[in-house]
Chain A
Amino acid sequence: MRAAWTLLKRDLQLAVREGGAIGTALGFYLLVVAMLPLGLGPDLNLLSRIAPGILWIALLLAALLSLSRIFETDFEDGSLELMALGELPLELVAAIKALAHWLTTGIPLALLAPLLGILLNLDIGAYGVLVLTMLVGTPAISFLGSIGAALTLRARRGGLLLALLVLPLYVPTLIYGITAISSALVAPDAFVPSLLILTALSLGSLVLGPIAAAAALRIQMQ
């Protein structure tokens, strides 16, 4: 348990002290959302209607950018091999690394979303729901994404490939994330079921992600 805690603390410290990593994702998120009205035109009614979708999709893209970081540096400098030999099972190591990614990317992006909602004229009533669904849904992004990060460690053009592998896996999260927000605005009865499904997807990915990522890491470290 102490080893797990130490590893988590190390990964969080690395993410914070490296700098740039969190800021880049946030900056990318801001830019994508700010570019869209330039492309779509400044019609506030249109923007407020599509705001939840834009915020979710831009969040997926921003999180994708930083996914490859989950294992890459530790794989390159050999510390991942030490971790594989250590007392923690590799599944737990993968889970902790994905958790650190969620804490340093998923949460900041979700907290930035309402601010970007202002740019898109999002209904004030939707802000709480937006942040709630994103906090509940983003663990799936980190944990499913860790599978892609582990699979592409030794691939050429890893970054682009990662997007191709991982984006289809995010479809259920995206659909229920947006269903939850729009139902909270239109039909409150449907909000709780959508949120529960979103939670179930995140919990499921919490199980599947580390197992598959650890399998992929073992194959590459033999």
Chain B
Amino acid sequence: MQTQSFTQRFANPTRFMAFSGALMPWLAGLSVLVIAYALYRGFTAPPDYQQGKTIYIMYIHVPAAWLGMMGYALIAASSFGLLVFRHPLADVSAKTAAPIGAAFTLLALITGSLWGKPMWGTYWVWDARLTSVLILFFLYLGLIALRSSIEDEPLAAKLTAVLALVGVIILPFIKISVEGLDIPSLGISIPAWNTLHQPSSVFRSDGPKIHISQLVPLLISAIGFTLLFFTMHLKAMRNEILRRRVKSLRLAEVDRARASETTVAAE
């Protein structure tokens, strides 16, 4: 028992349900509090000297974009867990993370488009970073569509997992081909396909290029939305487990009814 890893412990759905049920209210409450605090801090932060109050969109836009990418990484990790370790909850996790990740990606696209209107003068530009997020959204749609068009659930789970792993291998190439790549220390410089968007100003080798009064609310907001992501993911996983239990109970009932029918017929 002691040597079991964290993931092995929750290979038992009953144990997972008990643990996640106890965790749910705390996680949900905490995410509401953190997001509320982050929005309060964000909206009382000084407006940007160039972008004015539109900078407030950032506190939703940037975390949504991060979570859209994290969601895909989570699906890929779960798919790996399904295909390699055959973990019983891996597919539940991969299946339920897809719509949530897609929703955050869509949120990043919509907020980005609303932010683009005052800044660039149009709702949509074929900018490198917007485009690569749009393609990420298409990859999510592919996962959801493939799963929903195969009736046999275990089969759909495994095939979707293969697709998710292929996607996660190709995603960096899509990102580089659209956004370009610049690593001066290695002498690598691939130009971006087309760009208007500012480059990432938080994760940079020379430190964040964003003022501390905006960075702190942004990071708090990112933590809050991450908690929200996991709250929804956990809830969706619980629902999925319950749905599968109901389904297997129904199937068992049908089997029993059929068995009693045959005995009646035999008599």
Contacts and interface: CB of A to CB of B under 8 A. Distances in A.
Interface of A: 144, 147, 151-152, 154-158, 161, 164-165, 167-169, 171-172, 175-176, 179, 197, 201, 204, 208, 212, 215-216, 219-220
Contacts of A220: 155, 159
Contact of B146 (A161, A168, A171, A197): A161
Given A155-B149, A157-B149, A158-B149, 17 more contacts: A144-B170, A151-B146, A151-B163, A156-B149, A156-B151, A165-B142, A168-B167, A168-B174, A171-B135, A171-B174, A171-B178, A172-B177, A175-B178, A197-B177, A204-B173, A212-B162, A219-B159
Interface of B: 83, 135, 138-139, 141-142, 145-146, 149-152, 155, 158-159, 162-163, 165-167, 169-170, 173-174, 176-178, 190, 193
A175 B138 contact: no
Smallest CB-CB A-B distances: 7 pairs: A172-B177, A155-B149, A168-B138, A165-B142, A219-B158, A175-B177, A172-B173
Nearest to B134: A168
Nearest to A193: B190
A157 B141 CA distance: 15
Contact of A165 (B145, B158, B169): B145
A155 B174 contact: no
Contacts of B151: 156
B6 to A, nearest CB: 27
Residue of B162, B169, B190, B193 with most chain A CB atoms under a 10 A cut-off: B162
30 contacts: A147-B163, A151-B146, A151-B162, A152-B146, A152-B149, A155-B146, A155-B149, A156-B149, A156-B150, A156-B151, A157-B149, A161-B145, A161-B146, A165-B146, A168-B135, A168-B139, A169-B170, A171-B135, A171-B174, A172-B170, A172-B173, A172-B176, A172-B177, A197-B190, A201-B173, A208-B170, A212-B166, A215-B162, A216-B159, A219-B158
Nearest to A147: B166
A216 B174 contact: no
A168 B166 contact: no
Given A167-B138, A208-B169, A176 B159 contact: no
A215 B162 CA distance: 7
B230 to A, nearest CB: 27
Nearest to B138: A168
Nearest to B163: A151
A71 to B, nearest CB: 13
